[in-house]
Structure 1
Amino acid sequence: MLPKLSLGLVASLGLFLVLSQTAFGDVSFSVPEEMKQGSVVGNIAKEIGLDVGKLAARKARINTDGSSKRYCDINLNTGDIIVTDRIDREALCGKKASCVLKQELVLENPLELHRITVHVQDINDNSPQFKKKTIKFEIRESANKGSRYRLDEAHDADVGQNAVQGYNIEANENFRINVVAKSGGGKYSELVLEKELDREQQQELTIVLAATDGGTPQRSGTAVIHVTVLDANDNAPVFSQAVYKASLPENSPLDTVVVTVSATDADEGINGDVTYEFDHISDENNNLFSLDHKTGEISVTGDIDYEEGSKYEVVVEAKDGYGLSSEAKVIIDITDVNDNAPVIYLKSLTNPIPENVSPGTEVGIINVQDRDSENNRQVRCSIQQNNFILGVETNSVELVLNKELDRESLKEINLLLTALDGGSPPMSGTVVIHITVLDANDNVPVFSQAVYKVSLPENAVLGTIVATVSAADADEGLNGEVTYDFGHISEDVKSIFSIDHKTGDVKLMTAVDFETVASFELRVTAKDGLGLTSYAKVIIDVTDVNDNAPAIFLKSLTNPIPENVSPGTEVGIINVQDRDSENNGQVRCSIQQNVPFKLVPSIKNYYSLVSTGQLDRENLIVSVRDNGQPSLSATCSMYLLISDNLAEVPELKDIAYDDKNSKLTSYLIIALVSVSTFFLTFIIIILGVRFCRRRKPRLLFDGAVAIPSAYLPPNYADVDGTGTLRSTYNYDAYLTTGSRTSDFKFVTSYNDNTLPADQTLRKSPSDFVDAFGDCESSPEVGTAVAYNLNYSVF
Structure 2
Amino acid sequence: MARGGYKAWLGRLAVLILCLILTFNITSAQLRYSIPEELTVGAVVGNIAKDLGLDTSALNARGFRIVSGSTEPLFQLNNNGILHLNRKIDREEVCQRISTCIINIKTVLENPLEVHYVSIEVLDVNDHSPTFSENETHLEISESALPGARFQLQGAHDPDSDMYSIQLYKLSQNDHFRLEVKDGEDGKIPVLYLHKPLDKETARSHRLLLTAVDGGKPAKSGTLRIIVHVLDVNDNMPVFARDSYAAVLKENSPIGTTIMQVNATDLDDGLNGEVVYSFSNNVNNKLRKLFEVDANTGEIIVKGLIDFEAKDKYEINIKASDKGPVPLATEKSVVITIVDLNDNAPEIEVTSFSSAIPEDSKPGTTVALISVTDNDSGLNGKVICHISEDVLFTLTPSLQDNMYSIVTKSLLDREHQSKYDVTITCKDAGEKTLSSYRTISVTVSDVNDNSPEFSTNPYTFYVIENNVAGASLFSVSAYDYDEGDNALILYNILRNGNENKKITSFLNINSENGDILALKSFD
Report the TM-score range of the alignment, normalised by the length of the smaller protein: 0.5 to 0.7
Q: How large is the RMSD of aligned CA atoms in angstroms?
A: 4.8
Distance in structure 1 (CA, Å) of the matches to 2:163 and 2:107: 38
Distance in structure 2 (CA, Å) of the matches to 1:265 and 1:253: 27
Per the TM alignment, residue 191 of structure 1 is displaced from its structure 2 partner at its CA by 2.2
**Gap change, CA 1:238 and 1:569, over 3 Å in 2:** closer
Q: What secondary structure is seen at the aligned counterpart in 2 of 1:580? A: coil
What is the rounded CA distance, in whole Å, between the counterparts of 1:516 and 1:616 in structure 2? 49
1:604 paired to 2:385: no
Q: How does 1:127-276 map to 2 (within 5 A)?
A: 176-178=12-14, 191-192=17-18, 245-260=32-47, 262-263=51-52
Give percent identity, aligned residues only. Answer: 30
CA contact (8 A) 1:623 1:634 kept: yes
1:635 aligns with 2:438: yes
SS at match of 2:35: strand
Quick check: 2:102–2:120 contact (8 Å CA) kept in 1? yes
Q: Could you say which residue in structure 2 is the equivalent of 1:511?
A: 305
Aligned residue for 2:244? 451
Q: TM-score, normalised by structure 2?
A: 0.63
Return closer, same or farther for 1:368/1:547 CA change in 2, 3 Å cut-off: same
CA shift at 1:356, angstroms?
5.1
What amino acid does structure 2 have at the position aligned with 1:381? Answer: Y
**What is the CA-CA distance between 1:635 and the residue it aligns to?**
1.9
Match of 1:377 among 156, 165, 183: 165
Shift in CA distance, 276/577, structure 1 to aligned 2, threshold 3 Å: same
Counterpart amino acid of residue 630 in structure 1: T
Aligned residue in 2 for 1:469 = 262
Q: Is the 8 A contact 2:425 2:435 kept in 1?
A: no
- Change over 3 Å in CA distance of 1:490–1:320 after alignment to 2: closer
Go from structure 1 to structure 2 and tell me whether the alpha carbon gap of 1:504 and 1:190 turns closer, same or farther (over 3 Å shift).
Answer: farther
For residue 370 of structure 1, give the secondary structure of its aligned residue in structure 2.
Answer: coil
Structural mapping, 1:377-776, within 5 Å: 377-384=165-172, 386=174, 388-394=177-183, 395-401=188-194, 415-433=208-226, 440-473=233-266, 477-488=270-281, 489-530=283-324, 531-555=327-351, 573-593=369-389, 594-595=391-392, 598-608=395-405, 614=411, 619=420, 620-628=422-430, 629-637=432-440, 639=442
Separation in 1, partners of 2:373, 2:189: 91
Q: Give how far 1:355 is off.
A: 5.4
Distance in structure 1 (CA, Å) of the matches to 2:234 and 2:343: 51
Q: CA deviation at 1:567?
A: 5.9
* Preserved CA contact (<8 Å) 2:135 2:224: no
* Alpha-carbon spacing, 1:592–1:407, altered in 2? closer, same or farther (3 Å): same
Q: Which moved more, 1:367-376 or 1:381-390?
A: 381-390
Deviations 1:261-285 (A, max 9, x none): 544699xxx9xx999777x96548x
Contact 1:364/1:399, CA 8 A, preserved across alignment: yes
Given that 1:360 and 1:400 are in contact with CA atoms closer than 8 Å, whether structure 2 keeps it comes out as yes
Taking the aligned partners of 2:255 and 2:106, their CA distance within structure 1 comes to 111
Q: Deviations over 1:631-690 (max 9, x none)?
A: 222325264777989xxxxxxxxxxxxxxxxxxxxxxxxxxxxxxxxxxxxxxxxxxxxx
Counterparts of residues 292-441 of structure 1 (less than 5 Å): 295=81, 297-307=82-92, 308-309=94-95, 310-312=100-102, 314=104, 332-345=120-133, 351-354=139-142, 357-358=145-146, 360-384=148-172, 386=174, 388-394=177-183, 395-401=188-194, 415-433=208-226, 440-441=233-234
* Rounded Cα–Cα distance in structure 2 between residues aligned with 1:380 and 1:173: 63
1:206-264: CA deviation from partner (whole Å, max 9, x where unpaired): xxxxxxxxxxxxxxxxxxx6x7859xx8xx9797xxx7554322212234333445446
Change (3 A) 1:463 1:190: farther
1:440, CA displacement in angstroms?
4.9
Give, in angstroms, the shift of residue 517 of structure 1.
1.1
State whether residues 153 and 189 of structure 2, in contact with CA within 8 Å, keep that contact through their aligned partners in structure 1.
no
**Are the aligned partners of 2:41 and 2:86 in contact in 1 as well (CA < 8 Å)?**
yes
Cα separation, 1, equivalents of 2:334 and 2:320: 13
Check whether the contact 1:615–1:642 (CA below 8 A) recurs between aligned residues.
no
Question: Are the equivalent residues in 1 in contact too, given 2:136–2:224 (CA < 8 A)?
Answer: no
User: For residues 587 and 302 of structure 1, do their structure 2 counterparts lie closer, same or farther at Cα, with a shift above 3 Å needed?
Assistant: same
Does the 8 A contact of 2:103 with 2:122 survive in 1?
no
Q: Secondary structure at the match of 1:583?
A: helix
CA displacement at 1:335 relative to structure 2: 2.7
* Structure 2 CA distance for partners of 1:228 and 1:247, relative to 1, 3 Å: closer
CA distance 1:173–1:572, change in 2 (3 Å)? closer
Query: CA, structure 1 residues 293+570, in 2 after alignment: closer, same or farther (shift >3 Å)?
Result: same
Q: Are residues 472 and 322 of structure 1, via their aligned partners in 2, closer, same or farther at CA, if it must alter by over 3 Å?
A: closer
Name the amino acid aligned to 1:392: V
| 2:433 aligned partner, one-letter code | P
- For residues 18-29 of structure 1, the aligned pairs below 5 Å read none
Report the alpha carbon displacement of residue 366 of structure 1 after superposing the two structures with TM: 0.9
Q: Distance in 1 between matches of 2:110 and 2:423?
A: 162
Q: Per the alignment, in what secondary structure is the counterpart of residue 73 of structure 2?
A: helix
Q: What SS is found at the alignment partner of 2:40?
A: coil
Q: Alignment partner of 1:177: what SS?
A: helix
What CA deviation, in whole Å up to 9, does each residue of 1:703-748 have, x standing for no partner? xxxxxxxxxxxxxxxxxxxxxxxxxxxxxxxxxxxxxxxxxxxxxx
- Tell me if structure 2 keeps the 8 A contact 1:348–1:366: no
SS in 2 for 1:367: coil
Query: Cα distance, 1:490 vs. partner?
Result: 0.9
**1:287 is matched with which residue?**
73
Distance 1:438 1:263, change over 3 A: closer
The offset of 1:581, in angstroms, is 0.6
Alignment partner, residue 67 of structure 1? none
User: Which structure has the bigger radius of gyration?
Assistant: 2
Is the Cα–Cα contact under 8 Å of residues 451 and 538 in structure 1 kept in the other structure?
yes
> Does the 8 A contact of 2:65 with 2:107 survive in 1?
yes
Amino acid across the alignment from 2:90 = D
Deviation of 1:358 (Å): 4.8
For 1:383 and 1:611, the matched residues in 2 are separated by: 106
Change over 3 Å in CA distance of 1:544–1:598 after alignment to 2? closer
Normalised to the residue count of structure 1, the TM-score between the two structures is 0.44
Answer with 357-366 or 522-531: which moved more. 357-366
State the distance in 2 between where 1:631 and 1:315 align.
123
Amino acid at match of 2:304: T
In the alignment, the residues of structure 2 paired with residue 315 and residue 176 of structure 1 have an alpha-carbon distance, to the nearest angstrom, of 32
The one-letter code sitting in structure 1 at the alignment partner of 2:306 is V
Superposition pairs of residues 32-71 of structure 1, within 5 angstroms:
none
Say if 1:552 and 1:237 are closer, same or farther in 2 by CA, change over 3 A: closer
Match of 1:117 in 2: none
Structure 2 distance, partners of 1:299, 1:251, is 14
Look up the equivalent residue of 2:335 and give its one-letter code.
I
Measure, in 1, the Cα distance between the counterparts of 2:179 and 2:402: 86
How far 1:528 sits from its partner (Å)? 3.4
Paired amino acid for 1:300:
L
Q: What SS does structure 1 have at the residue aligned with 2:154?
A: strand
* Alpha carbons 2:39, 2:89 under 8 Å: kept: yes
Q: Secondary structure at the match of 1:485?
A: strand
For structure 2, the 5+ residue unaligned runs are: 1-5, 449-523
